[in-house]
Structure 1
């Protein structure tokens, strides 16, 4: 499974550099720092060099239909399209953003889902590799209600996990990718 993701990540990273308009107007750190809903005990500014400065920027998802995926993430989760572009290799990329977090939706003709029939949690962990996209919110029950009003079918709805002392909701995007939302 890792072998499938590495070329895609490498392919996208090669196209990010020549297209500066893919870069957000403000850095992820600036957007997160300016967010009034952010409540973190330490600064997002990381002093140092090399890996000491490592921070997450985005996640890349290969999709079957770019238009449908953009619409799903906008309508269901409130992401906004930042940029969309065809690149010379036949790959089309859409960069979407919400609260300083970016997702690259990537389409290439002939892509396929090799996982087969995705399993619900916890059986989804029986296939190695990246297993789900994880977010967190302050009020999971309010989030569940909003997701349901947006037409999202929930797999787990505010399921309390005693080992971690909080609750999680799970559902799938329009491509079958598992998304988890945990309550802070």
Structure 2
């Protein structure tokens, strides 16, 4: 088996319209497809990043909350690679989104920070290595 990359991450949101605006307008993800599944009373929104990876956004009637303690078992956070963490942090803050202070990864020396989506899902901005930067 040879796994090549992450194809998508799936997120179930509590308020579909709020999360759709957040991921498309605040984060700038491109809508690939949007489907309403009447039998499930559920939306499925496929959102793309420039490299082709995707975020799938789902709505379901009354989804149960997920425990969200920092070290709870399960997916810890979703990280997006960016060229300039400080510039992205400033852009998010200008849109009214709270962003933690920028830290430096002790092993890679790369900068990163965290913020949250409308349901409190931890999202990370992680700076690309200089060779991968498009600056």
Asked if residue 104 in structure 1 is aligned to residue 94 in structure 2, the reply is no
User: By percentage of residues, which structure has more strand?
Assistant: 2
TM-score, normalization by structure 2: 0.84
Root-mean-square deviation (Å): 1.6
* Cα 1:55/1:159, change in 2 over 3 Å: closer
| Matched position secondary structure for 1:136 | strand
1:145 maps to which residue?
Answer: 90
State the structure with more CA Rg.
1
Name the SS for the 1:143 alignment partner: helix
Q: Show structure 1 runs of 5+ residues with no match.
A: 1-50
Q: Deviations over 1:8-67 (max 9, x none)?
A: xxxxxxxxxxxxxxxxxxxxxxxxxxxxxxxxxxxxxxxxxxx32543211100111111
Q: Number of residues paired by the alignment?
A: 126
Counterpart position of 1:58: 8
User: Which deviates more from structure 2 when the two are superposed, residues 52-61 or residues 165-174?
Assistant: 52-61
**Whole-angstrom CA distance in 1 between matches of 2:23 and 2:40:** 25
CA deviations over 1:144-169 (Å, ceiling 9, x no partner): 111111221012x2212323312111
Gaps of 5+ in 2: 129-135
